[in-house]
């Protein structure tokens, strides 16, 4: 039997800690401001954007929500990003991904001012993460690291296996684990003999995008299993990449879905926004 890692509780604790900082910044004339841009009508994206807006409001941020039709032109979207770059009330700019067809995510991300890039997707921030000299950490991997820390889970010298090589989760996750002295393996859709590798993991991070893909037989007894997946199962119920029932029999710690990594992603976004507002205050002196 494993201990459930309560991401909802840790997220609430992190956000509670940010409340004071946000109030302090506001008193000094820099109320943290977060802009969320949503193009199109993907229902999952609408939920994520609502979670972010709600968290920002609860922390007393200035929050600006910009909803655009799915047929918005790239030029129009780029212009909105440029306006937000120049808006002194905004410290964090987030363009919700994925973008509707026809819009180039790379181009849009490149347009976001790196100082306001609270998702840490801009090439300048990605490069800094690689060097371990970051301003902003990517929200989901940062949330995972925070959970490990909160539960006293050591990474030093441990075998950490990430499944998934996306720019948003897998790649930066591997980098953060490596900086935390883990021995890191990244697996992906072309990996051969996946289960042989996952069974050697002390810490297993699933960011695959396939419902209940990781089963108990793929997990070492006592491993820490972190589920980054957000899928719907056969009954249209929210579930992760990990088959919770069979894996929780073997793992020492496991994150549930919902209530695991997801809430931490939101908390880290808020943390980055506060950091950005702080940076601005420091620069102005
Ligand atoms: C929870 C995301 C895949 C693709 C794009 C809380 C969120 C999710 C779950 C949330 C996610 C996933 C977000 C829970 C933001 C995390 O209680 O378990 C919060 O809002 N997330 C996103 O913005 O884009 C995604 C997953």
Domain map (residue ranges) of the chain: 29-113, 139-262
CA-to-CA dists, residue 126 to 114, 172, 237, 243, angstroms: 10, 8, 34, 32
- Average model confidence (pLDDT) for the chain? 97
Residue nearest to atom 20 of ligand 1 (CA): 48
Tell me which residue of 162, 169, 163, 199 sits closest to 183, measured CA to CA: 162
- Rounded mean pLDDT, 118-145: 97
Does 114 sit in the ligand 1 pocket, CB within 6 Å? no
The Cα–Cα gap between 220 and 202 comes to: 7
Cis peptide before 258 (omega within 30 of 0): yes
For residue 206, pLDDT over 70 is answered with yes
Ramachandran assignment for 52, one of left (phi > 0), alpha (psi -120 to 50 degrees), beta (any other): alpha
User: Best mutation site among 48, 99, 143 for ligand 1, i.e. most ligand atoms within 8 A of its Cβ?
Assistant: 48
Q: Is 52 a catalytic residue?
A: yes
Residue 283: predicted pLDDT? 86
Per-residue pLDDT at 284: 67
Q: Is a pLDDT exceeding 80 seen at residue 285?
A: no
Q: Please say if the pLDDT value at position 267 is more than 50.
A: yes
Residue 227, strand partner residues: 206
What separation in Å is there between the alpha carbon of 231 and the centre of ligand 1? Answer: 10
CATH number of 139-262: 3.40.50.720
Through-space distance between the first and last CA atoms of the chain, rounded to whole angstroms: 53
245 catalytic residue (yes or no): no
The residue whose CB lies within 8 Å of the most ligand 1 atoms, and thus the one to mutate among 265, 266, 268, 270, is 265
* ∠ Cα 51 53 57 (to 5°): 115
pLDDT for 243 beyond 50: yes
Say yes or no: CB of residue 266 within 6 Å of ligand 1. yes
Radius of gyration of the chain, Cα coordinates, nearest whole angstrom? 19
- Residues 91-127 have pLDDT tens digits of 999 999 999 999 999 999 999 999 999 999 999 999 9
How far apart are alpha carbons 17 and 236 in whole angstroms?
35
The verdict on the CB of residue 48 being under 6 Å from ligand 1 is: yes
Pick the CATH number of 29-113 from 3.40.50.10860, 3.90.79.10, 3.40.50.970, 3.40.50.1360: 3.40.50.10860
If you take atom 22 of ligand 1, which residue's CA is the nearest one? 48
Does the beta carbon of 265 lie inside 6 Å of ligand 1? yes
Question: Does residue 188 register a pLDDT over 80?
Answer: yes
pTM for this predicted structure: 0.98
Among candidate residues 55, 9, 60, the one with its CA nearest the CA of residue 31: 60
Q: Do domains 29-113 and 139-262 have the same CATH topology?
A: yes
């Amino acid at each position: 039997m494993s201990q459930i890692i309560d991401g909802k509780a840790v997220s609430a604790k992190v956000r509670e800690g940010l409340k004071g900082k946000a109030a302090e910044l506001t008193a000094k004339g820099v109320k943290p401001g977060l802009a969320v841009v949503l193009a199109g009508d993907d229902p999952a994206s609408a939920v994520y954007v609502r979670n972010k807006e709600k968290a920002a409001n609860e922390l007393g941020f200035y929050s600006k929500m910009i909803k655009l039709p799915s047929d918005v032109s790239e030029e129009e979207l780029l212009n909105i990003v440029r306006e937000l770059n120049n808006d002194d009330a905004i410290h964090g700019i987030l363009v919700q991904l994925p973008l509707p067809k026809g819009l180039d995510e790379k181009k849009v991300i490149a347009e976001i001012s790196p100082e306001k890039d609270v998702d840490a997707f801009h090439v300048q921030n990605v490069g800094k993460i690689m060097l371990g000299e970051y301003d902003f950490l990517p929200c989901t991997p940062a949330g995972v690291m925070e959970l490990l820390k909160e539960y006293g889970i050591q990474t030093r010298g441990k075998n950490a296996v990430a499944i998934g090589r996306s720019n948003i989760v897998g790649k930066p996750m591997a980098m953060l684990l490596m900086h935390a002295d883990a021995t890191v393996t990244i697996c992906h859709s072309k990996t051969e003999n996946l289960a042989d590798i996952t069974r050697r993991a002390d810490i297993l991070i699933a960011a695959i995008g396939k419902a209940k893909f990781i089963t108990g037989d793929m997990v070492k007894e006592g491993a820490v299993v972190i589920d980054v997946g957000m899928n719907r199962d056969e009954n249209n119920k929210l579930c992760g990449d990990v088959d919770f029932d069979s894996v929780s029999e073997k793992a020492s710690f496991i994150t549930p879905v919902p209530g695991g990594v997801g809430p931490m992603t939101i908390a880290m976004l808020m943390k980055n926004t506060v950091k950005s507002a702080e940076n601005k205050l420091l620069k102005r002196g």
